[in-house]
């Protein structure tokens, strides 16, 4: 697997045992306080889990919250207990390593890094703790040989994005749609590639306006103002459906859709973002591409609890329920059969979805 470029961020260590004391502000869909409770009150005798969040952390209503959902399921079903750590913007690589070492020194197993930015840190730490199992969401090994005690948990984001591309093409009235990526790297380009391919499978002449918030700086995943600016430009340019793959920046995309008015749609990512959006934005969220980080997180924890830990590279695709699309709000009900038909063809191999634009 080719290495995805990781831009080092700077900052402080935010590791706390069995819960955090820093609630995030936001709407009622925020999971920050709920996640605090699950680790503070967990008293089972199952696996002791370390979960290291990416920038944005709890309450991002996206990638990190999906990982939390898998953790909460492990607490409920496997009797797991947990320690959480959170990255902060501007964080140096050494801080990630220290966070993981602190978790390992506490005897936590497994330890899961949420996001590809943990790949180098896990590669540095895992060899020193051979009896502990590590997982990294969207991860890779920067060396030629994968670590024996590390699971690299990847997703077929291009397949899920294909499905919401079909939805966008079936919904657009203008014949022009948009895509907003957080950072212009290989991972996010998979989302773009699948989305464009899905849309063009329905309307070969459809126009797709593509914008990225940042070229390489990971702050593009935590910049709602940047997301709003990019999406507003696309709506102003004639797009009436905009899909984002930009983490917490996506809240700005939803704002832009609501501001653009009737007939303007946004598509969420990672989790069912209709469920966490403010009421004035819900009526503009067509669907969300589900990236089941919760499934991968739970599977990793369960594999350790079962004594057969997952290792090496694993890809969660449509066939493994690793990606999909949401139906909350009922806005895709009338086109669901066509989206599901595309999903069936991907699963059967009749459709091969590109992973590069």
Instruction: Report pLDDT for 24.
Output: 35
Pairing of strands 81-86, 150-155: unpaired
Q: What would the pLDDT profile of 204-245 be if each residue is shown by its tens digit?
A: 999 999 999 999 998 898 899 999 999 999 999 999 999 999
Asked if residue 32 and residue 150 are part of one domain, the reply reads: yes
Evaluate whether residue 81 is within a structural domain: yes
The residue range of the domain holding 226 is 157-291+327-348
In this prediction, residue 58 has a pLDDT band, given cuts at 50, 70 and 90, of confident
> Do 176 and 277 share a structural domain?
yes
Tokens describing residue 337: 């059969």
In a domain, 357, yes or no: no
Rg (CA), the chain: 19
What mean pLDDT is predicted for residues 45-74? 87
215-230 residues labelled b (16+ CB within 10 A) or e (exposed): eeebbbbbbbebbbbb
For residues 34 and 61, the model is more confident at: 61
pLDDT at residue 17 is higher than 50: no
CA proximity to 161, closest of 134, 126, 135, 187: 187
Q: Which residue has the higher pLDDT, 27 or 179?
A: 179
Query: Could you tell me if residue 267 is inside a domain?
Result: yes
Tally of domains within the chain: 2
CATH number at residue 58: 3.40.50.2300
Q: What is the chain's mean pLDDT, rounded?
A: 88
209: helix, coil or strand?
strand
Task: Kindly state the helix (H) or strand (E) to which residue 305 belongs, with its residue range.
Answer: helix 293-305
For β-strands 265-270 and 241-245, DSSP reports them as parallel
CB atoms under 10 Å from CB of 34, counted, come to 13
Residue 108 belongs to a domain? yes
């Amino acid at each position: 697997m080719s290495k995805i470029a990781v831009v080092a961020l700077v900052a402080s260590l935010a590791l706390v045992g069995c819960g955090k004391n820093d609630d995030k502000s936001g709407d009622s869909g925020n999971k920050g306080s709920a996640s605090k409770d699950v680790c503070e009150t967990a008293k089972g005798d199952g696996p002791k889990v370390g979960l290291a969040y990416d920038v944005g952390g709890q309450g991002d209503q996206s990638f990190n919250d999906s990982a939390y959902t898998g953790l909460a399921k492990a607490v409920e079903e496997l009797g797991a207990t947990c320690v959480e750590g959170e990255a902060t913007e501007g964080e140096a690589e050494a801080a990630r390593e220290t966070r993981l070492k602190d978790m390992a020194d506490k005897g936590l197993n497994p330890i899961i890094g949420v996001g590809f930015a943990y790949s180098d840190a896990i590669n540095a730490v895992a060899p020193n703790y051979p009896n502990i199992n590590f997982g990294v969401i969207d991860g890779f090994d920067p060396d030629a040989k994968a670590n024996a005690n590390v699971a690299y948990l990847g997703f077929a984001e291009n397949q899920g994005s294909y499905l919401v591309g079909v939805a966008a093409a079936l919904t657009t009235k203008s014949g022009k749609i948009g895509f907003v990526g957080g950072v212009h790297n290989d991972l996010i380009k998979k989302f773009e590639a699948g989305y464009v391919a899905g849309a063009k499978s329905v309307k070969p002449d459809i126009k797709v306006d593509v914008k990225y918030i940042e070229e390489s700086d990971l702050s593009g995943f935590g910049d709602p103002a940047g997301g709003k600016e990019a999406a507003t430009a696309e709506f102003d340019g004639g797009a009436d459906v905009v899909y984002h793959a930009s983490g917490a920046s996506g809240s700005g995309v939803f704002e832009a859709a609501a501001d653009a008015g009737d007939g303007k749609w946004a598509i969420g990512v990672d989790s069912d973002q209709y469920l966490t959006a403010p009421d004035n934005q819900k009526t503009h969220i067509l669907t969300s591409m589900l990236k089941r980080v919760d499934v991968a997180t739970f599977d990793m924890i369960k594999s350790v609890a079962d004594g057969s830990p997952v290792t090496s590279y694993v890809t969660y695709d449509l066939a493994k329920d690793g990606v999909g699309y949401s139906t909350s709000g009922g806005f895709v009900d009338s086109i669901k059969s066509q989206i599901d038909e595309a999903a069936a063809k991907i699963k059967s191999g009749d459709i091969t979805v590109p992973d590069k634009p």
